[in-house]
Each structure stands twice: as structure tokens, then as C-alpha cells.
Amino acid sequence: MTAEPQRTFQEVFSKLLKSMLTYWAQIGVVVSLCSAGLGLTSLYAYTYAIGRTDLFMPSTEAKSDLAVWVIIVAIFISIYIFLLFSTSWLFGITVAMFDRTPKLQKHIAAWLTLPVLTGFISFILVSFTLYKSLGTGFPTTVILVMVLLTTWFTLSRPIIRMAIRTNLKRHAKKKPVGFHSNKTLFVFFLILFLIATVVAGISPTLLIAATYLAFEPNTNTYFAALICLLTLAMTLLPVIIFYRSSGDVYNRTFFGVFSALILFCSFIVILPNTMGYIAYRAALGIDVRQKGAERFILTGDLGLQDINTTLWKARAAAPGKIEIQAFQLFSFGDVLLLCPSSLLKLELHQMKQHTHYCIRTLNSKATLKPQKPQLPNNLKTT
């Protein structure tokens, strides 16, 4: 029985392109529905995060703003996924070093998770317990020693030793090059990539901690550590699935990428405030939420007698108009939410408790006053 021939990239690309052209209408509908769902979900998550879900329904009328919002949120989600799965890329490169023993790679991937998981456990324990009392030098040494010890144990396994010998063996048609030319060099790069995978876990940990603590600052430290550890362990699963799946490299890549997306969705379920955090960062990126206070002139039925003039630093600007100092917390379409400048420094988890002090108005009824230019002394008029 002959093995099934490997498909070339051109064959896979041609088949994929043909399928897309055949079902482009259905694909367009699915993409449109997913985009609309992402936009509405992220917009609701942001209004929920700031404690003003009453802004959600009026904001959905701004279709053009929603389209831009979807693109920005999608970019931030892509960055989030890249940082979250940075350990996956490095771990995949580590296993790919054994490219000359493809039948053993699924076993190698399983064994190499041991030093990586040991490094993750050591890093989480040190970060959440010993960091403040011992500084950075000793904890870093502990993590490095634990990784090296478990790496030595892993490399001493018969299947790993056999795989290393096979990868270093001289082939008639393939001369050993790079780290395949020397055992010491091969082991050095293997250990280097394993350590780099553990170090890459810093980014997902900081990301998880920022997401979780942004909404739950008083949470139990050990529970937060457990969430970080589980998430770091989950980032290795796409690589394990890739090497343990059957089929050619393109099918296995599909399974690996698909599993990463499923794991990201699971991460959002485990930490339901993740979408709110991503939306909040997106809002900061496009000034839906301003970073500084400005002077606004409001027209309409709102008068000085309706607000706390001290809190808003308000004054009468003209008949039917008042001037306030505030920052924009939400602006979508014609919907505008202005908050007192005293709330500017509040953290995200604190904002929800104070946004009932904010003024909900319309962009068409608010005018942003320009700042006075700071002229050099030689240009100032006397």
C-alpha cells in the first residue's frame, strides 16, 4: 500500500481559491454576519464595562461608525491572539527542529511539554508569591534551574535520544547543515528555544493579569495565578494537535489554527470581561474614550442649575449654553457621554461605579473648544 502523495502549496491554493469563487455569496453572508456580531458584541461589552448599557441601542443606528469599529476591534483581537499564542509559535519551532523524524514528532512534542510546563509553573509561583520578597535575581535563577533540570531529564529519554541521533545522521542526499551538523549545537538551540518559550509566557501572563484584574482587582491571588497557569498550558495545545493530527501539513495546519481559535473563544468564556477589556483598549486607540479633559459648550435644555458647577467647573457661556470641563468617555454616531475631569484617572473597574454622574448628550449639541496656543515669549504681544 503506497503512501498518499503530499499536496503542493499551488494545488492547495488553487483548490481553496476555486472553492471561494464557487461559494463567494455564502462566504460573504457569513463574513457579514460575523462582522456585525463582532461589532455589536464588542460595543455592548464596552458599554457594559463602563456601566452605561443605555448607550448601546442608540449607538447601533450609526452603521458607518460601526463598520470602522469592527475593523479596529478585529485588529486589537488579532494583536491579543498573537501575544496570547506567542508561546505556541516558539514551542512549534522547537518541535520542528526534529524535522528529519516526522513519525516521532508527536511523541517529541508531548515530551517537550514537560520542561515548558515546569517553567510555566515556576514562573507563575515566583510571580505571584516570591517576587516582592526576593526581587528578580533569585527567582529568575530558580526558574532557569527548574527548566534546565527537566530539560536534562527529557533529553535523557530513549525516544528523544534516538530522535536526536537520527536528526544528526548524515544522509546521502542531505548534508547536515546548521544545528543539524553538531550534537552540542543542536542541544544548545533546543534548550535555547525551550527557555525562550518559557520567557514568552511573560506576555500572555501580563495580558491575562491586566484583563482579569482590570475588572476584579480584589480577587484572590491564587485564583488569578491558576487562571494564568491554565491559559499558558492551553497555548501549547495547538502545537500538540498539529503534530498528533493525521493528514498532510495543510490539514494539520488547519486543525492547529482552528484549535487556537476555539481556545481563544474558551478563554473569553473563562474570562467573560476579556471582550470588554479589548473594546476598552480599542476605544482608547481611536479616541472614542479621550485621554485628557477638554472644555465643551453644550446647547439644549441643560442649565447650570441642573449640574454641580464645582464638579464640572461649569459656567454660563451664552443664553441657552453652558461651558463645562469634561472628557469624552463614549462617542458613537451622535451619541456622546461626557464625564467630569475628576473621573479621568479612575481605573476601568472603578469607572462603572461613577458613570451615573456623566452627562449623556448628542455630538450635534456639543462643541469642543479649541485649546489656547502656547506662544513663545518673543511672539507674544505686549
Q: What does each of the 382 residues of the chain score in pLDDT, given as a tens digit?
A: 344 556 776 777 788 888 888 888 888 888 889 888 888 988 998 898 888 899 999 888 888 888 888 888 888 888 888 888 888 889 999 998 888 888 888 899 999 999 999 999 988 888 777 665 655 667 778 888 889 999 999 998 999 889 888 888 754 455 555 555 678 888 899 999 999 999 888 888 877 777 766 666 666 677 778 888 888 888 899 999 999 887 778 888 888 888 888 888 887 777 767 888 888 888 888 888 888 888 898 887 788 888 888 888 888 877 878 888 899 999 888 899 999 988 888 887 788 888 888 999 888 888 888 876 665 665 555 4
Q: Tell me if 194 sits within 8 A of 188, measured CB to CB.
A: no
Regarding whether 301 and 272 lie in a shared domain, the answer is no
The Cα 349–Cα 277 span in angstroms is 10
How distant, in Å, are the alpha carbons of 95, 191, 204, 243 from that of 88? 11, 16, 11, 13
Q: What's the CA gap between 340 and 47, in Å, rounded?
A: 18
| Judgement on whether residues 281 and 208 belong to the same structural domain of the protein | yes
State which H helix or E strand residue 308 sits in: none
- Residues 119, 182 share a domain: yes
Are 79 and 227 contained in the same domain?
A: yes
Q: What is the DSSP string of 164-212?
A: HHHHHS--SS----GGGG-HHHHHHHHHHHHHHHHHHTHHHHHHHHHHH
**What value, to the nearest 5°, has the Cα angle with vertex 144 and ends 106 and 191?**
40
Residue 149 inside a domain? The answer is yes
CA 317 to chain centre: 44
Residue 199 and residue 192: Cα distance in Å, rounded? 10
CA-nearest of 357, 360, 364, 88 to 243 is 88
Domain containing 151: what range?
111-194
What lies within 8 Å, CB to CB, of 195 at 6+ separation is: 119, 144, 147
- Which of 165, 194, 223 delimits the end of a domain? 194
Q: What is the pLDDT of residue 20?
A: 81
| Pairwise CA distance, residues 318 & 369, whole Å | 14
What is the identity of the amino acid at 110? A
Domain stop point among 174, 194, 214: 194
In sequence order, what are the residues at sequence separation of 6 or more whose Cβ sits closer than 8 angstroms to the Cβ of residue 367?
A: 296, 297, 298, 299
Q: What is the DSSP letter of 130?
A: I
- CB neighbour list of residue 232: distance below 8 Å, 6 or more residues apart: 87, 120, 124, 201, 204, 205
* 18 within domain boundaries: no
Q: Is residue 152 part of a domain?
A: yes
* 222 and 355 inside one domain: no
- Cell triple for residue 110? 508531548
Whether 212 is in a domain gets the answer yes
Residue keyed to cell 475628576: 342
Quickly tell me which residue has 544522509 as its cell: 171
Domain-located, residue 7 = no
Look at residue 255 and tell me if it is in a domain: yes
DSSP state, residue 301: S
310 and 330 fall within a common domain = yes
Residue 119 sits in the same domain as residue 190: yes
Q: Is 288 helix (H, G, I), strand (E, B) or coil?
A: coil
Residues 221 and 357 grouped into a single domain: no
Of 353, 356, 374, 371, the C-alpha closest to 293 is 371
What is the rounded distance in angstroms from the CA atom of residue 287 to the CA atom of residue 284? 5
Q: Identify which of 59, 79, 38 has the alpha carbon closest to the alpha carbon of residue 288.
A: 59
Same domain membership, residue 320 and residue 364: yes
Helix 202-215 / helix 274-285 crossing angle, nearest 10 deg:
100
Angle between helices 105-125 and 202-215 (to 10 degrees): 50
Number of independent structural domains in the chain: 3
Assigned domain for 95 exists: no
Q: Indicate if 225 and 275 belong to the same structural domain.
A: yes
Last residue of a domain, one of 194, 213, 246: 194
Q: Which residue type does 117 have?
A: L
Same domain for 220 and 72, yes or no, is: yes
**Same domain flag for 174 and 306:** no
Q: Is residue 98 part of a domain?
A: no
